[in-house]
Structure 1
Amino acid sequence: MLKRILNISLAYVGVVIGAGLSSGQDLMQYFVSFGKWGIIGTIVLGIISVVFGKIIITLGSYFRSNDHSEVLSQIAGPITNKILDIALIVSCFVVGLVMIAGAGSNLNQQFGLPFWAGGLLCATLIIIVSFLDFEKITGVLGIFTPIVFIMIIIIAVHTFTNRSFDFDELEAISATIPSPMPNVWISLLNYFALAVMTAVPMAFVLGGSIMRIGVAEKSGILGGLGVSIIITVVTCVLYANVKLASTVDMPMLAIAEQIHPIFSLIYAFVIYGLIFNTAFSLFYALAKRFSSDNPKRFYPILIGTVVIGYALSFMGFKELVSIMYPILGYIGFVMLAILTIAWIKEKSNIKGEKFLRRKMIRLITKKYDDNQDYTIKDKEKFHQLGEDSIVDTQSIKSDIKDLVKEKFNDDTR
């Protein structure tokens, strides 16, 4: 169970911290541009991130969603559902192509490779990895998260050890950084709303892969905490190095170069991995959405959208961040409101479903445990609980049986 929580939480962090956050570009525009107040803003953002991390993953588990529309259709009215569905589709595609652009910028800045080469490699990897089974995909999404966390801590220690800072100079340089936001409070809300818009499609799918709601809750909290720590630490590092960071597309990569060339090389690959994580999650969720009624269309849709995204990525990474992110963030305000209302309305039902699934798991465990008797009464109770579940009766019964059988198979190996 602990392994499952870690896998999902790391995958969630990997989905959220894409090219902008791990490279530092969006944090420069959203927070560092406001100086010390921007750092305070990231702390507030961190608290919000933990709360909504739990909400998003848990709602996905509660509704056992395969794509975001399955959750939205349950928590929003028909008109709002349609608006948010369209907004998420646009968000997946736009931020996906921004990630591909970030892949091009990353390898261009570090290795001098042509912009088109880095983007093409990222697009190709998205298509290849999509052919793996979902458990392996979850592992791929989370693999770079602990690495980038360690590397960011190393950068932070290097930045703040045995150095003094002229805060007046840092404030003055920060003030020259253009920001798409009028003040830090709107900035933090817009940034988080954007993060939700980009994370929700895949986060619902991640949550939908979890049967135990308690596991989903813990995964969301841990994932949200990971995101909040990384955002705050990276913003502090960027602020302390703002003179250098304000002059490049990939500021964290430029700061890493000050430590050691080999460290910088590794960090470039890690950023590239995180760019891929987010890009893959967005295009994967987009293809899932459009193929929900016909799974055979999944791969043609995914390949087609990735190819179009790659073609449009030549608009440029920095420019795309400054233009598209604020627009999507404002649309995300509606999503935050809907998620909050849904959580308040469904909280007692989620708690009931949580205990219902526990009872079903305990009952069906008797069937596969040689030391227990699975009676006719147990079978009838199991079926009745399945009918009481918010999920389709046959689906919930089948999934719980598979979960328990898998556990027994693992125990006997």
Structure 2
Amino acid sequence: MKKIMKIGSAFIGIIVGAGLASGQEILQYFTSFGLWGIAGAVVTTVLFAYIGMMLVWMGSRAKQPSHKEVIYGVSGRFLGLVIDYILIFTLFGVGVVMVAGAGSNLNQQFSIPIVAGTTLMTILLLLTGMLNVDRVVTIISSITPFLIIFVVIVSIYSFMTMDDSYNNLGSIAREQPTNLPNWFISAINYVSFNTAVGASMAIVTGAAEANRKTAALGGLAGGVGLGLIILLSHLAVFAKIKEVGSLELPTLGIVNDISPILGVIMSLVLFAMIFNTAISMFFSFSARFIEAGTKTFRIFFAITVIVGYAASFVGFTDLVSSLYPFIGYLGLVLILVLIIAPFKIRKEE
């Protein structure tokens, strides 16, 4: 059970980065559709449960140091090449968004210049990238429970202090900008995007677990937990949409409304979750090209992070609204492969 929870926490930690933990993704993908965002959250929970189980199980089965061999193995040469390049693009792109999110986080909470937050995150990434994969997974999984506690607190507070009707809040929520056409497409796009985000590190995480059943259950638990976090976060942001709809980090805004002290703590937890996803992205990106743990890997990793740091100055909200939906549409290819993967593997075995 301990291993299952560790894998599940790691899967959640990989995906919960700046966008989700801050509430900005939730706002754009779910809350902007009003009460229909609840239906979207339910759809994402079901899909994440299956996808989390499949990704970690495939990693445990293949025991490969990167996603490349696993993806090519289940999708063939041509389709494997397409998915491989989608994942490579996603890993670097989301890593850049995380670095930008670190700057926005500290800026909103402490009025620290954005460049200071992004620089601090970059330094932490460079230091952590020198560790082996087991240590990285342990670090990622250890931070997740703190986020879950805050999501529950925020959700309870938001509902207890909601001062308007569901219909009025729904009208305000639907005025929020989004690049998605409706709640169903938005939910599918969100799962697809996050599958592209989490696939590589989830496979690497599974490769570190010898027992396939334990790996699969860990991925399943992570997917369900992730879906519940999304649902609670949506309900919290929806209940306080009038107060936080214009903020870059809506969840942090709600916590600050509860207590300035809790706001400081939440900001640090949020920074840690951003770090979780950032290290997952840059570590997996580098592992795709160079064997992890080697001197060459560390040099390549450092160069990648520094380039990502330079690219992060585009801005957090702009990156989320433009890059994420695009990656989501690309990631649909990977979801289709994961659906047919069990049948193909069963035939081969």
Tell me, yes or no, whether TM beats 0.5.
Answer: yes
Corresponding residue for 1:314?
313
SS, match of residue 258 in structure 2 = coil
In 2, Cα distance between equivalents of 1:49 and 1:35: 22
Corresponding residue for 1:327?
326
Corresponding residue for 1:231?
230
Q: Give the structure, 1 or 2, with the largest relative contact order (CA under 8 Å, sep 6 or more).
A: 2
Q: How does 1:32-111 map to 2 (within 5 A)?
A: 32-111=31-110
In 2, Cα distance between equivalents of 1:337 and 1:43: 20
Identity percentage of aligned residues: 35
* Larger displacement relative to structure 2 (199-208 or 135-144): 135-144
- In structure 2, do the counterparts of structure 1 residues 33 and 197 end up closer, same or farther at CA, with 3 Å as the change threshold? same
In 1, Cα distance between equivalents of 2:14 and 2:292: 25
In 2, Cα distance between equivalents of 1:259 and 1:267: 11
Corresponding residue for 2:218?
219
Deviation at 1:157, TM superposition (A): 1.3
Corresponding residue for 2:165?
166
Structure 1: where are the runs of 5+ without partners? 353-413
Larger Rg: 1
Report if the CA contact (8 A) 2:130-2:293 is conserved: no
AA aligned opposite 1:30: Y
1:300 partnered with 2:299: yes
Deviation at 1:168, TM superposition (A): 2.3
- In structure 2, do the counterparts of structure 1 residues 312 and 194 end up closer, same or farther at CA, with 3 Å as the change threshold? same
AA aligned opposite 1:171: G
- In structure 2, do the counterparts of structure 1 residues 178 and 72 end up closer, same or farther at CA, with 3 Å as the change threshold? same
Deviation at 1:162, TM superposition (A): 5.7
In 2, Cα distance between equivalents of 1:101 and 1:32: 23
In 2, Cα distance between equivalents of 1:178 and 1:286: 31
In 2, Cα distance between equivalents of 1:48 and 1:276: 25
Moved runs in structure 1, 4+ residues, more than 6 A? none
Corresponding residue for 2:272?
273
Corresponding residue for 2:129?
130
AA aligned opposite 2:164: F
- In structure 2, do the counterparts of structure 1 residues 176 and 100 end up closer, same or farther at CA, with 3 Å as the change threshold? same
Q: Cα RMSD between the aligned structures?
A: 1.4
Deviation at 1:345, TM superposition (A): 1.9
SS, match of residue 78 in structure 2 = helix
The count of aligned residue pairs is 349
In 2, Cα distance between equivalents of 1:343 and 1:325: 28
In 2, Cα distance between equivalents of 1:293 and 1:4: 23
In 2, Cα distance between equivalents of 1:70 and 1:294: 18
Report if the CA contact (8 A) 2:67-2:200 is conserved: yes
- In structure 2, do the counterparts of structure 1 residues 274 and 294 end up closer, same or farther at CA, with 3 Å as the change threshold? closer
What TM-score comes out, normalization by structure 1 length?
0.82
Deviation at 1:40, TM superposition (A): 1.2
Structure 2: where are the runs of 5+ without partners? none
In 2, Cα distance between equivalents of 1:27 and 1:162: 20
SS, match of residue 122 in structure 1 = helix
- In structure 2, do the counterparts of structure 1 residues 266 and 293 end up closer, same or farther at CA, with 3 Å as the change threshold? closer
Deviation at 1:294, TM superposition (A): 9.9
Deviation at 1:111, TM superposition (A): 0.4
- In structure 2, do the counterparts of structure 1 residues 77 and 255 end up closer, same or farther at CA, with 3 Å as the change threshold? same
What TM-score comes out, normalization by structure 2 length?
0.97
- Could you list the per-position Cα deviations for residues 184-233 of structure 1 after superposition, in whole angstroms to 9, with x for gaps in the alignment? 11110101000000000100000111111011011111111110110000
AA aligned opposite 1:270: V
1:157 partnered with 2:159: no
Corresponding residue for 2:22?
23
